[in-house]
Protein backbone atom coordinates (compact mmCIF):
# COMPACT_ATOMS: atom_id res chain seq x y z
CA UNK A 1 0.00 0.00 0.00
CA UNK A 2 1.32 3.42 -0.93
CA UNK A 3 2.00 6.01 1.74
CA UNK A 4 1.74 9.50 0.28
CA UNK A 5 3.44 11.04 3.35
CA UNK A 6 6.52 8.81 3.14
CA UNK A 7 8.55 11.06 0.82
CA UNK A 8 7.97 14.14 2.98
CA UNK A 9 8.81 12.18 6.12
CA UNK A 10 12.06 10.90 4.62
CA UNK A 11 13.02 14.31 3.26
CA UNK A 12 12.45 15.96 6.62
CA UNK A 13 14.28 13.26 8.56
CA UNK A 14 17.27 13.10 6.19
CA UNK A 15 17.24 16.78 5.17
CA UNK A 16 17.86 15.61 1.60
CA UNK A 17 15.86 16.67 -1.44
CA UNK A 18 15.03 13.15 -2.54
CA UNK A 19 12.36 14.34 -4.98
CA UNK A 20 15.05 15.93 -7.18
CA UNK A 21 16.20 12.46 -8.33
CA UNK A 22 15.76 12.02 -12.08
CA UNK A 23 16.77 8.35 -12.20
CA UNK A 24 20.11 8.71 -13.96
CA UNK A 25 21.41 5.47 -12.27
CA UNK A 26 24.79 7.01 -11.47
CA UNK A 27 24.38 5.93 -7.82
CA UNK A 28 23.73 2.33 -8.81
CA UNK A 29 26.53 2.16 -11.38
CA UNK A 30 29.10 3.25 -8.80
CA UNK A 31 27.94 1.05 -5.91
CA UNK A 32 30.50 -1.65 -4.98
CA UNK A 33 27.93 -3.99 -3.41
CA UNK A 34 25.01 -3.61 -5.78
CA UNK A 35 25.14 -7.31 -6.71
CA UNK A 36 24.21 -8.17 -3.11
CA UNK A 37 21.22 -5.85 -2.94
CA UNK A 38 17.61 -6.78 -3.50
CA UNK A 39 16.77 -3.26 -4.69
CA UNK A 40 19.33 -1.17 -6.54
CA UNK A 41 20.10 2.23 -4.97
CA UNK A 42 18.25 4.27 -7.63
CA UNK A 43 15.22 1.99 -7.12
CA UNK A 44 15.16 2.67 -3.39
CA UNK A 45 15.13 6.39 -4.10
CA UNK A 46 12.34 5.89 -6.66
CA UNK A 47 10.29 3.81 -4.23
CA UNK A 48 10.63 6.51 -1.58
CA UNK A 49 9.27 9.05 -4.07
CA UNK A 50 6.41 6.69 -4.91
CA UNK A 51 5.54 6.21 -1.23
CA UNK A 52 6.43 2.50 -1.13
CA UNK A 53 7.15 2.54 2.57
CA UNK A 54 7.14 -1.19 3.23
CA UNK A 55 9.29 -2.06 0.21
CA UNK A 56 11.95 0.42 1.30
CA UNK A 57 11.94 -0.21 5.04
CA UNK A 58 11.94 -3.99 4.72
CA UNK A 59 14.56 -4.08 1.94
CA UNK A 60 17.93 -5.78 2.33
CA UNK A 61 19.57 -2.94 0.44
CA UNK A 62 19.50 -0.40 3.26
CA UNK A 63 21.40 -2.92 5.43
CA UNK A 64 23.76 -4.12 2.69
CA UNK A 65 24.93 -0.55 2.09
CA UNK A 66 28.49 0.01 3.34
CA UNK A 67 28.01 3.75 3.81
CA UNK A 68 31.00 4.31 1.53
CA UNK A 69 29.23 7.42 0.07
CA UNK A 70 30.36 6.67 -3.50
CA UNK A 71 26.76 7.10 -4.64
CA UNK A 72 26.37 10.38 -2.74
CA UNK A 73 29.47 11.82 -4.39
CA UNK A 74 28.32 10.68 -7.84
CA UNK A 75 24.78 12.03 -7.61
CA UNK A 76 24.34 15.01 -9.98
CA UNK A 77 21.58 16.35 -7.73
CA UNK A 78 23.66 16.27 -4.54
CA UNK A 79 21.42 13.76 -2.82
CA UNK A 80 23.36 12.14 0.01
CA UNK A 81 21.98 8.69 -0.76
CA UNK A 82 24.06 7.01 1.94
CA UNK A 83 22.49 9.30 4.52
CA UNK A 84 19.03 8.60 3.09
CA UNK A 85 19.70 4.88 3.57
CA UNK A 86 20.92 5.47 7.13
CA UNK A 87 17.72 7.42 7.82
CA UNK A 88 15.70 4.51 6.39
CA UNK A 89 17.56 2.11 8.69
CA UNK A 90 16.55 4.08 11.77
CA UNK A 91 12.95 4.17 10.65
CA UNK A 92 12.95 0.45 9.82
CA UNK A 93 14.26 -0.37 13.31
CA UNK A 94 11.69 1.93 14.92
CA UNK A 95 8.85 0.37 12.95
CA UNK A 96 10.16 -3.18 13.38
CA UNK A 97 10.49 -3.78 9.65
CA UNK A 98 14.26 -4.29 9.55
CA UNK A 99 15.36 -7.24 7.45
CA UNK A 100 18.69 -7.32 9.28
CA UNK A 101 19.10 -6.16 12.88
CA UNK A 102 22.64 -7.57 13.18
CA UNK A 103 24.19 -4.77 11.14
CA UNK A 104 22.48 -2.21 13.32
CA UNK A 105 23.68 -3.96 16.47
CA UNK A 106 27.28 -4.11 15.26
CA UNK A 107 27.17 -0.53 14.04
CA UNK A 108 25.90 0.69 17.43
CA UNK A 109 28.56 -1.27 19.34
CA UNK A 110 31.28 0.02 17.00
CA UNK A 111 30.30 3.64 17.66
CA UNK A 112 29.85 3.04 21.39
CA UNK A 113 33.45 1.82 21.48
CA UNK A 114 34.76 4.80 19.50
CA UNK A 115 32.89 7.16 21.83
CA UNK A 116 34.39 5.46 24.89
CA UNK A 117 38.00 4.90 23.74
CA UNK A 118 38.47 7.34 20.88
CA UNK A 119 38.98 4.40 18.53
CA UNK A 120 37.61 0.91 18.14
CA UNK A 121 38.44 -1.64 20.84
CA UNK A 122 37.89 -4.74 18.71
CA UNK A 123 37.76 -7.35 21.48
CA UNK A 124 35.23 -5.43 23.54
CA UNK A 125 32.97 -4.71 20.56
CA UNK A 126 33.15 -8.29 19.26
CA UNK A 127 32.46 -9.83 22.68
CA UNK A 128 29.48 -7.56 23.25
CA UNK A 129 28.19 -8.46 19.80
CA UNK A 130 28.65 -12.19 20.36
CA UNK A 131 27.02 -12.01 23.80
CA UNK A 132 24.04 -10.10 22.41
CA UNK A 133 23.71 -12.75 19.70
CA UNK A 134 24.18 -15.58 22.25
CA UNK A 135 26.76 -17.04 19.85
CA UNK A 136 30.20 -16.99 21.44
CA UNK A 137 31.98 -19.70 19.48
CA UNK A 138 30.96 -19.67 15.80
CA UNK A 139 33.89 -17.50 14.59
CA UNK A 140 36.53 -18.72 17.04
CA UNK A 141 39.02 -19.85 14.38
CA UNK A 142 38.79 -16.62 12.42
CA UNK A 143 39.12 -14.64 15.66
CA UNK A 144 42.24 -16.59 16.65
CA UNK A 145 43.78 -16.10 13.20
CA UNK A 146 43.17 -12.37 13.38
CA UNK A 147 44.61 -12.24 16.89
CA UNK A 148 47.75 -14.15 15.85
CA UNK A 149 48.23 -11.80 12.90
CA UNK A 150 47.96 -8.82 15.23
CA UNK A 151 44.68 -7.62 13.72
CA UNK A 152 42.89 -7.76 17.09
CA UNK A 153 44.46 -6.40 20.24
CA UNK A 154 43.44 -7.34 23.79
CA UNK A 155 44.06 -4.01 25.47
CA UNK A 156 42.20 -0.88 24.32
CA UNK A 157 44.33 1.82 22.71
CA UNK A 158 42.71 4.88 24.19
CA UNK A 159 43.34 8.31 22.72
CA UNK A 160 44.50 11.05 25.09
CA UNK A 161 41.45 13.29 24.82
CA UNK A 162 38.62 10.84 25.35
CA UNK A 163 36.41 13.53 26.88
CA UNK A 164 36.87 15.48 23.66
CA UNK A 165 35.61 12.52 21.69
CA UNK A 166 32.57 12.32 23.98
CA UNK A 167 31.93 16.01 23.29
CA UNK A 168 32.07 15.40 19.51
CA UNK A 169 29.33 12.78 19.88
CA UNK A 170 27.25 15.11 22.07
CA UNK A 171 27.66 17.99 19.58
CA UNK A 172 26.62 15.72 16.73
CA UNK A 173 23.53 14.69 18.66
CA UNK A 174 22.64 18.33 19.40
CA UNK A 175 23.30 19.51 15.85
CA UNK A 176 21.52 16.74 14.01
CA UNK A 177 19.17 15.25 16.56
CA UNK A 178 20.83 11.95 15.72
CA UNK A 179 22.15 9.73 18.46
CA UNK A 180 24.95 8.53 16.22
- Residues that contact ligand SF4, how many (by CB under 6 A): 28
Minimal distance, residue 109 CB to ligand SF4, in Å: 20
Phi, psi angle pair for 47, to nearest 5°: -65, -35
Element (H, E) at 63: helix 61-64
Instruction: Tell me how far apart the alpha carbons of residues 169 and 176 are, in angstroms, rounded to a whole number.
Output: 11
10, 39, 56, 65: which one binds ligand SF4 (CB under 6 A): 65
Q: Rg for the chain (alpha carbons), in Å?
A: 18
Which is closer to ligand SF4, CB of 19 or CB of 108?
19
Which is closer to ligand SF4, CB of 63 or CB of 143?
63
Q: What is the DSSP string of 66-132?
A: ----HHHHH-TT---HHHHHHHHHHHHHHTT--S-HHHHHHHHHHHHHHHHHSS--HHHHHHHHHHH
Checking 21-25 for CB contacts under 8 A at 24+ apart, the result is 21/45, 21/46, 21/49, 21/75, 21/77, 21/79, 22/77, 24/76
Minimal distance, residue 6 CB to ligand SF4, in Å: 16
12, 15, 33, 94: which one binds ligand SF4 (CB under 6 A): 33
Binding mask 68-107 for ligand SF4 (x = CB under 6 A): xxxx--xxxx-x-xx-------------------------
Return the range that interacts with ligand SF4 (CB under 6 A); candidates 24-32, 51-59, 90-98, 152-160: 24-32
Minimal distance, residue 154 CB to ligand SF4, in Å: 32
Minimal distance, residue 144 CB to ligand SF4, in Å: 30
Which is closer to ligand SF4, CB of 42 or CB of 116?
42
Give the binding site for ligand SF4 (CB under 6 A). Answer: 21-27, 30-33, 41-42, 45, 65-71, 74-77, 79, 81-82
Amino acid sequence: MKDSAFLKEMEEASKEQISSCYQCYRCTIGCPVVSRMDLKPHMVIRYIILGEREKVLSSKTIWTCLQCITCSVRCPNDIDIAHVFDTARKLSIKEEMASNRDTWLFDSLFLESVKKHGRLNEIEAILKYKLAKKDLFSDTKMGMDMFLKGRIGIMPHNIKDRKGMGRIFENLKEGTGRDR
